[in-house]
Structure 1
Amino acid sequence: MKYVNLGRTGLKVSQLCLGTMNFGQSTDEKEAFRIMDAALDAGVNFFDTANGYGGEKRGHTEEIIGKWFAKGGNRRERVVLATKVYGDMQDPNDGPNSESGLSAYKIRRHLEGSLRRLKTDHIELYQMHHVDLSVSWDELWEVFQSFVQKGTVDYIGSSNFAGWHLTLAQAEAKARNLLGLVSEQHKYSLLCREPELEVLPAAKHHGIGVVAWSPLAGGLLGENALNPQKGSRSAQETNAIEARRPQLERFAALCSDLGETQSNVALAWLLANPAMTAPIIGPRTQEQLVNSLRAVEIVLAEATMVELSNIFPGPGKPAPEAYAW
């Protein structure tokens, strides 16, 4: 495994981040334990979750991770743990504050819940799952800084923020002599290159590490996209594949020429971006995890990078150069 700094911090994290959204849904507890053991054995030390993960039972994914930590063997000590806050946890005790949002009241309550489910006394990276423009940064930075001062949280991150949200957050943090955001978790892949316009440039400028979610575009960039098992795709997924079939066939042919799988080439393309800290891989099985480890070893030639952009065109330049002249 290879390691990089998380944004401008001194914290080293693996170049692949283990996503756990499937745990408790398509992946049962036993297989989740196997995946986390294998990830740790392979040197993956960066684990991402959210308090809302777990399907119908919000928080169930965190509970599974907490049970795994409780098995001992220095599991907790070896993991850089990231979780998120924002959504409705369906807790009747939240009352009118149950709806999605980021009040100090809700953040405090939901952090306490995450710590309890995860069976830990601290979180390395606590992330806002979405932006909440109805809440002031006075309120947000005050509550987050209180966690940092107590040692309950080491760093604060964001997810699904626009470029201007990142810039505003950093300006407000600087005015308070705070470190501010250290990471932004964002949807980014060969099939979703809009972040190159403003989010990636803003993150790079402010020293915010980018963690890519859905790096395989919901499986469209995976090995089974063109040859799915019978009955494994919904009508919506099938339509998405057919709309992209010429691109996906060119991509599959290129990967075949390289002797690499589509998913690993898609991940390697992300890792070649200097703004990238780590893509999030969300394996449903231990085998899928092991197969993804190859991605950090792949170095794509310049000609390959050009061909990938020909197949999956991006904006070409950041805003406003991409469209203004």
Structure 2
Amino acid sequence: MMNIALGAMEYGTRIGEKESFALLDAYVDAGGEWIDTANCYAFWHDPSGHGGQSEELLGRWFAQRPGVRDRVKLATKVGCEPLRPGSYPEHTEGLSAQAIDAALETSLRRLGVDHIDLYWAHRDDRSTPLEETAAAFGKHAAAGTIGRLGLSNYALWRYERMRGLAAELGVMGPSALQLRYSYLQPRPLVRDHTHDHRFGWITDEVLDYAATNPGQQLFAYSPLMSGAYENRPDRPIPEAFTHPGTIRRLEALTAVATDLDITPSEAVIAWLTTGTPAITPIIGISTPTYLQTALNGAHLQLTPEHRAQLGEVW
């Protein structure tokens, strides 16, 4: 099994149906399993100001590909759908029991499936008691419409508290945590402000937590930083990553990629997927070239020497 997930965020909006179907077909034919989306994708591309386009496209793909649903693991999210056009991020559906019930029903209908393999809370909702959120997810897990629960963009202490509350309630707790992560590291004082979610970066504490709790899986989004590793003039390295450590890490990455005759992005994917703990990168695949990069990286096994070369430079 390849330890990557295909990010379908812009399928059905920026990426058209024909192109999306071709990428999905090629991904599954190559042995890919995880497909990741969200009920709010991609509201920013649609004149309505609401999401659902990615789920609807995947639903059409499943309908036209008999048997393919049994070959994939499907993940979607709840919590960030805008309540009205232009209201994100201040006013979104949140994670109340009512919101979760309604969103899950809608996602199942759009996707044309009877269960979600991994259902994510898209971001923390501090206005709703964790007990209510845990109970709502647990109810759907008991009914079989959720296979696993994951939390995205959560502080680690909130994640662990949710696990404890779920245990007290006798319901399924989270077993996956999704945050942003990549080979390059932002400056510590700005790592929580590289996007609009307060807690969005896998820190050393999170890595230690996952390494000592084997049942907890880490997923990383934006692992390739929108193509910044390929030295493209139109995709510069973000300002938050411009510090001396980045220079040293890029030198190590370039040396390993050159030695193995691969691209830096392929080396980054291999570094993520074979580490301790192993991290599942969610890769937004928009072209056949990007798909091949993801597949190459997922199949690559770095030697201990190459891992040491990459991992010992900070």
Task: Give the alignment partner of residue 150 of structure 2, picking from 157, 162, 168.
Answer: 157
| Contact kept in structure 1, 2:4 and 2:273, CA below 8 Å | no
C-alpha distance in 2, partners of 1:28/1:241? 32
Q: Cα–Cα, structure 1 residues 237 and 264, in superposed 2: closer, same or farther, change >3 Å?
A: closer
Contact 1:128–1:159 (CA under 8 A) maintained in structure 2: yes
Are 2:101 and 1:108 equivalent residues in the alignment? yes
- Partner deviation per Cα, 1:44-81 (whole Å, 9 max, x = no partner): 11111011112333111111111101103212222210
Any conservation in 1 of the 2:118–2:149 contact (CA below 8 Å)?
yes
Which of 126, 136, 154 matches 2:129?
136
**Cα gap change, 1:186/1:238 in structure 2, threshold over 3 Å: closer, same or farther?**
closer
> Counterpart of 2:253?
251
Q: Is the 8 A contact 2:270 2:301 kept in 1?
A: yes
Equivalent position of 1:281 in the other structure:
283
Report what 1:82 is aligned to.
Answer: 75
Q: Is the contact made by 2:12 and 2:53 (CA closer than 8 Å) also made in structure 1?
A: yes
CA gap 1:78/1:91 in 2 versus in 1, 3 angstroms? farther
Which consecutive residues of structure 1, in runs of 5 or more, have no partner in the other structure?
Answer: 3-13, 314-325
- Please report how far the alpha carbon of residue 245 of structure 1 lies from its aligned counterpart in structure 2 after TM superposition: 6.3
Q: Pairwise CA RMSD of aligned residues?
A: 2.6
Q: Is the 8 A contact 1:192 1:217 kept in 2?
A: no
> How has the CA–CA distance of structure 1 residues 110 and 81 changed in structure 2, closer, same or farther, with 3 Å as cutoff?
same
Q: Is 1:208 matched with 2:196?
A: no
Give me the whole-angstrom Cα distance separating, in 1, the residues matched to 2:168 and 2:77. 25
Aligned pair 1:195/2:202, yes or no? yes
Amino acid in structure 2 at the alignment position of 1:218? S
Match of 2:33 among 45, 59, 64: 45
Given candidates 153, 165, 175, the residue that maps to 1:172 is 165
Q: Tell me which of the two structures has the higher relative contact order, counting C-alpha pairs closer than 8 angstroms and 6 or more residues apart.
A: 1
Matches within 5 A, 1:45-84: 45-54=33-42, 55-57=44-46, 58-84=51-77
Give the TM-score of the pair, scaled to structure 1.
Answer: 0.80
CA distance in 1, matches of 2:136, 2:224: 35
Alignment partners' CA distance in 2, 1:242 and 1:160: 23
State the alpha-carbon separation in 2 of the partners of residues 227 and 134 from structure 1: 42
Task: Tell me the SS of whatever aligns to 1:175.
Answer: helix
Question: Which residue type is aligned with residue 162 of structure 1?
Answer: A
- Following superposition, the deviation at residue 290 of structure 1 comes to 2.4
Indicate if the aligned counterparts of 2:182 and 2:224 stay in contact, CA closer than 8 A. Answer: yes
Which segment drifts farther, 260-269 or 285-294? 285-294
| Aligned mates of 1:107, 1:179 — CA distance in 2 | 15
- 8, 11, 21: which one aligns with 1:23: 11
CA contact (8 A) 2:138 2:173 kept: no
- Cα distance in 1 for residues equivalent to 2:176 and 2:77: 12
Partner of 1:303: 305
Measure the CA separation in 2 of the matches of 1:188 and 1:173: 27
1:251-305 deviations in whole A, cap 9, x for unaligned?
Answer: 3243112212111110111112232352112111123212321223322223322
- The answer on whether the counterparts of 1:267 and 1:279 sit within 8 Å (CA) in structure 2 is yes
**For residues 245 and 274 of structure 1, what CA distance do their matches in structure 2 show?**
24
Distance (whole Å) between structure 2 residues aligned to residue 156 and residue 305 of structure 1: 31
In the TM superposition, residue 197 of structure 1 has moved relative to its aligned partner by 2.0
Decide whether aligned partners of structure 1 residues 42 and 136 sit closer, same or farther in structure 2, where only a CA change above 3 A counts.
Answer: same
- Structure 2 CA distance for aligned equivalents of residues 123 and 242 of structure 1: 39
Identity %: 35
Q: Contact (CA 8 Å) 1:17, 1:281: kept in 2 or not?
A: yes
State yes or no: 1:220 paired with 2:222.
no
Q: Retained in 2: the 8 A contact 1:166–1:202?
A: no
Q: Identify the range of structure 1 (244-253 vs 140-149) with the bigger mean alpha-carbon deviation.
A: 244-253
Contact 2:80 2:94 in 1 (8 A): yes
User: Contact 1:122/1:151 (CA < 8 Å) preserved in 2?
Assistant: yes
**Partner Cα separation in structure 2 for residue 203 and residue 164 of structure 1:** 13
The offset of 1:87, in angstroms, is 1.0
